Amino acid sequence: MRAVVVEQWGGPENLVEREVERPEPGLGEVLVRVHAAGVNPVDWKTRVSGGLIEWGAVPAVGWDVSGTVEAVGPGVGILRPGDEVFGMPLFPRQAGAYAEYVVAPARHLAPKPASLTHVEAAALPLAALTAWQALVDAADVRPGERVLVHAAAGGVGHLAVQIAKARGAYVIGTASAGKHDLVRELGADEVVDYRETPFEDVVSEVDVVLDGIGGETAERSLKVLRDGGRLITLPGPDDVPAARDGVRASWVLVEPDHLGLREIAALVERGLLRPVVEAVVPLAEAAKAHTLGEQGRTTGKIVLSVV
Ligand SMILES: NC(=O)c1ccc[n+]([C@@H]2O[C@H](COP(=O)([O-])OP(=O)(O)OC[C@H]3O[C@@H](n4cnc5c(N)ncnc54)[C@H](OP(=O)(O)O)[C@@H]3O)[C@@H](O)[C@H]2O)c1
């Protein structure tokens, strides 16, 4: 099969397409024919140096997939050949999603929302599960709570705005001015142009901050939280500021999550969640997708088309 692998850690030019052996599904696993593979910042961050991921013999980045079950291994009861599925298998171990086929534990996948194309479905798993696990599982956002989403037009942010809204929250997003219409369309009640106005000057009494930026944005976010507030920062554990009394600050790492994917699919089918895809790039041009994504200005998601 065709797969994009990492020749050596470094720049996007190290992503190369190769013929590699097609994997076989083992106990409890399925083989997925990949139609589209989503691109996430962790893909290029780990391409640079490997990071903390448990790599296989030939390093292959990429986790988000949408595709069709080709074969099932022994013991799989919930999926059959021909089922259309989406998911983020194996993270933070290697999945190798930039390929024609991937093997995944059955419960690292869920039925693809029928109303989405494979390209749209591949935009969801890692970013939407991150938003879901942060806002719902970790922060337990309640109806009427005030939620501030940083980078509200980005991969995680544009889904987090919609998920927070679906939970009945009052949602404030930060984005540059050209993206405000989109963030409002996605359901935000207020949008702050973070380049013009320090957000802490105009936002206060927030219950939950979802921070996809880290660094000083995470530090400054503590100021807008009310007592009992929760800050969840995403880039890394070193981005978690020392919390003051009465507020909680933490990092969460997204994990494969069958039930979370089903909740996300249900929101899509109820018309409460839709992915925005900024660019679709052929698998063979994965390096181009990374170069684009690494600029840090993506609106929604970049997706690789595989078939
Ligand atoms: N912990 C985890 O499990 C986990 C999971 C997913 C993602 N992450 C991390 O979370 C971060 C965000 O991921 P992502 O997929 O959402 O990234 P992304 O799609 O690449 O984010 C791009 C967006 O960031 C916005 N942005 C850049 N600087 C900003 C600032 N100072 N304030 C507000 N918005 C700003 C850009 O908007 P403008 O053009 O308007 O600036 C752009 O729309 C990454 O560091 C990623 O590695 C962690």
Instruction: Dump pLDDT digits (tens) for 211-239.
Output: 999 999 999 999 999 999 999 999 999 99
Q: What is the mean pLDDT of residues 52-63?
A: 92
CA-based R_g, the chain, Å: 19
3-state helix, strand, coil in the chain (%, to 5): 30, 30, 40
Residue 40 Cα to ligand 1 midpoint, Å, equals 10
The pLDDT tens digits of the residues spanning 167-208 come to 999 999 999 999 999 999 999 999 999 999 999 999 999 999
pLDDT of residue 245: 85
CB 15 within 8 A of CB 6: yes
CB 253 within 8 A of CB 272: no
pLDDT of residue 307: 84
Q: Which atom of ligand 1 is nearest to the CA of 254?
A: 3
Rounded Cα–Cα distance for residues 86 and 91 (Å): 14
- Residue 16 Ramachandran class (φ > 0 left, ψ -120 to 50 alpha, else beta): beta
pLDDT of residue 42: 97
Choose one of 61, 63, 216, 298 to mutate for the ligand 1 pocket test, by most ligand atoms within 8 angstroms of C-beta: 298
- How remote is the C-alpha of 296 from its chain's centroid? 14
When the pLDDT of each residue in the chain is averaged and rounded to a whole number, the result is 97
Rounded Cα–Cα distance for residues 150 and 173 (Å): 6
- Residue 28 Ramachandran class (φ > 0 left, ψ -120 to 50 alpha, else beta): left
Q: Which atom of ligand 1 is nearest to the CA of 130?
A: 5
Residue 293 Cα to ligand 1 midpoint, Å, equals 10
Residue 150 Cα to ligand 1 midpoint, Å, equals 8
The pLDDT tens digits of the residues spanning 245-292 come to 899 999 999 999 999 999 999 999 999 999 999 999 999 999 999 999
Buried b (16+ CB within 10 A) or exposed e, 191-217: bbebeeeebbeebeebbbbbbbbbeeb
Rounded Cα–Cα distance for residues 277 and 284 (Å): 19
* Residue nearest atom 7 of ligand 1, based on CA coordinates: 234
Rounded Cα–Cα distance for residues 117 and 221 (Å): 36
